[in-house]
Amino acid sequence: MIIAIDGPAGSGKTTVAERLAKRLGFFFLDTGSTYRALTYAALENNLNLESEKELTDLAASLDLKIDNNKVYLKSIDISKEIRKPRIDKNISKVVGFIEVRKVMNSLQRKETLGKDSVVEGRDITTVVFPDAEFKFYLDADQKIRAKRRVQQLLKEGEVVNSEEVEADLVKRDQSDKNRKVGSLKLTKETRYIDTTNLLIPEVVEKLFSIVRPKK
C-alpha cells in the first residue's frame, strides 16, 4: 500500500507522514530529502547548478540510501546537513530540471518496492505515485508555515532571520507551483487538509482514521 502526501513547505507533511508511518508500521520516505541530498552533493562537488546535464549525471550516480529515517550519501549520514539554510537557498535550482526529476522519481519508486509506505513530497500524488491508494494534500497559511520553518531551524541550532526564511519559502512555493514538470498540484481525488489551526497529533489522527479502516 502507498499513502501519498503532497503539500508546500511548512505544511507539516514531513512530520505527519513520519508519525503516520510509525503508527501504521510502514516504511517512510521523505522524497524532499532525496532532492536535498542531490543539492548537497552538487554543492560539495562545486557543480554548476544551472547545468541540467551535470545534475542529471550526478543524480544517476548518486550513492544514496534511506534507512530508519536517516539519509546516507556514500554511507555517510547527511541528515542534518541537508536541512541547513544553504540547501533551502539552492534546492529550487536543482528540482526544476525534467531529466533530473525523471532519475530521482525512479530512485524514489525503487526505495518503496515491496514495502507498505507513506511517501511525502510535492508531486507524489500526481507524478511519482499517481495510483497511490490514499492521497492527501496538506496546506497551511503562509506565515504559519514560515513560522514553523523558523522554529525547526532554531531547534536544530541554526541562526536564522525570520524575514529571509519567509522569503525563501515564498520563492520555493512559486518554483514548486510553476515548474514545467512535477509541479505542486491539488487534484480532484486528493483529500485537502488545512493544518493551520491543527496540532501535528490531530492531523495524524485525521489521516489515520481515514487510512486505518481500509488497511
In a domain? residue 76: yes
The C-alpha atoms of residue 11 and residue 195 are separated, in whole angstroms, by 7
Residue 204 covered by a domain: no
Residue 80 lies in a domain: yes
Q: What pLDDT, on a 0 to 100 scale, did the predictor assign at position 37?
A: 97
Question: Is 209 among the domain residues?
Answer: no
Among 17, 14, 52, residue whose Cα is nearest residue 33: 14
Residue 207 lies in a domain: no
The residue ranges of the chain whose pLDDT is under 70 are 180-182, 214-215
Is residue 36 one of the residues assigned to a domain?
yes
Give the pLDDT score at 170: 83
> The CATH number of the domain where 167 resides is what?
3.40.50.300
CA angle 45, 36, 76 (to 5 degrees): 65
Q: For residue 56, give the 3-state DSSP assignment.
A: helix
Whole-angstrom Cα distance, residue 4 to residue 29? 10
**pLDDT score recorded for residue 215:** 55
pTM of the predicted model as reported, rounded to 2 decimal places: 0.84
Domain count, the chain: 1
What's residue 176's pLDDT?
75
97 domain-assigned: yes
Residue ranges making up the domain that contains 120: 2-196
Look at residue 88 in the predicted model and tell me its pLDDT. Answer: 87
Domain assignment present for residue 211? The answer is no
C-beta separation of 75 from 148 below 8 A: no
